[in-house]
Amino acid sequence: MSEAISQGFIDDYDVNAIRADFPILSELVHGKPLCFLDNGASAQKPQAVIDAIADTYKHCYANVHRGAYAFSEQTTANYEAAREIVRAFLNANSEKEVIFTGNATGAMNLVAHSFGRGLLKEGDEVIISAMEHHSNIVPWQMLRDEKGVELTVAPISDDGTFLLEEFKSMLSEKTKLVAITHVSNVLGSVVPLQEVVEAAHAVGAKVMVDGSQAVMHMPVDVQDLDVDFYIFTGHKLYGPTGIGVLYGKEDLLDKMPPFMGGGDMIASVSYEKSTWAELPAKFEAGTPQIVQAIGLGAAIDYVQSVGLERIAAHEQRLLNYATQRLCAVDGLRLIGTATNKTSVLSFVMDGTHPHDIATIVDRKGVCIRAGHHCAEPLMDRMGVSGTSRASLAMYNTMEEIDTLATALEKVREIFG
């Protein structure tokens, strides 16, 4: 995005109008205005999402795909309309390529089970990166221990940059899957996905991307990226909890065995054998996340009404300002300073535990995260036991950054 275009998006961005769409932002915490900066963990919900969920429960709730009566037909239509919203959001080729899951962790485990256990064999290699969430580490360790699949870790630099050339040198014919984050939940580093996908495909490997920290910050076009799998979760995208998405290329999903067995994922059942339903039902056993999917559709509609490019420009301006303000706090050190990064600021302060920092700033109404952020191996790589983390969203303001910085200066006063 050019500087001129970015400035135009910023000038046209009414953050106060956006904040008015989020009822919780008017709440007080310890008598102070809520300053919510833990969006990387879970974002707040606009009224449109709250209404979509409440309206479904109040006016037309029923189970989907089964009932031949008006409520079931209406809810089924709304549920499948949400799938189309997700398809268009990712620019997937077909609704068959959009699988609803309980969360991103469930989607990654689906791939590990159905692709990993179904199609990989002993000696095949899975490559992850050094900045993965536990959800993109543990399933592959389980697969390694069960099937003898090799698990290899691609390195990052001291500032959190993904080392593309080192990654390329690791690829070989035994590499069958690259499972990698799009944006680090700790560092904010953005992985150069197109180059990663091109290099992986050159050796015949498939690519699964964890986009949980990406889709709320930038447009994602799965066809343009040519990824084989793309995963995200609803609750970080201003939608409800309990809903995740797995995008997979149709021909690949067709080859994979089901993850779970039960109702709705079958074509027929007898005591002798069962046959599977067509996509996407094949991977959606049991009663699905009905209202959560409808809420996710409303969240995506809301985000797109604002515009991801406009959101990205606003958040980049916030990130630049926050980087400047936090670096001015005595004894504070940012963890993750890659050139290409998005709206995450992890930091440590001399002589102060991250949990103490989070507890003190909470008294000022500021919500930040503290700990290892489900990324213990990354903490080891960066030489820290944990960090405090401020993660930005479309509704955050410069004034909130000032509130955070002032609260951190108070922490400095307390701990010297």
Tell me the C-alpha distance between 355 and 343, whole Å. Answer: 21
Q: Write the single-letter amino acid at 368.
A: I
Geometric angle at alpha carbon 175, from 86 and 145, rounded to 5°: 90
Q: How many residues does the chain have?
A: 416
| Spatial CB neighbours of 60, under 8 Å, sequence gap ≥ 6 | 70, 71, 74, 75, 78
Cis peptide leading into 354, omega within 30 of 0? Answer: no
363 secondary structure, DSSP code: T
Tell me the C-alpha distance between 283 and 100, whole Å. Answer: 8
Active-site residue, 60 included: no
| Spatial CB neighbours of 109, under 8 Å, sequence gap ≥ 6 | 135, 139, 259
Of the candidates 60, 327, 367, 374, the residue annotated as catalytic is 374
Q: Give the E-state strand segments of 287-393 in sequence order.
A: 332-335, 344-349, 366-367, 369-371, 387-391
Tell me the C-alpha distance between 222 and 245, whole Å. Answer: 13
| Spatial CB neighbours of 413, under 8 Å, sequence gap ≥ 6 | none
- Rounded to the nearest angstrom, the gap between the alpha carbon of residue 143 and the centroid of all alpha carbons in its chain is 23
| Spatial CB neighbours of 212, under 8 Å, sequence gap ≥ 6 | 104, 133, 181, 185, 231, 232, 233, 236
| Buried-state track 372-411, b at ≥16 Cβ within 10 A, e below 16 | bbbbeebbebbebebbbbbbbbbbbbeebbebbbebbeeb
Closest CA to 411 of 347, 330, 324, 319: 330
In which residue are the tokens 């409808």 written? 294
- Is 176 in contact with 206 (CB distance < 8 Å)? yes
Structure tokens at 48: 């449109």
Tell me the C-alpha distance between 16 and 95, whole Å. Answer: 35
**Annotated catalytic sites, by residue?**
374
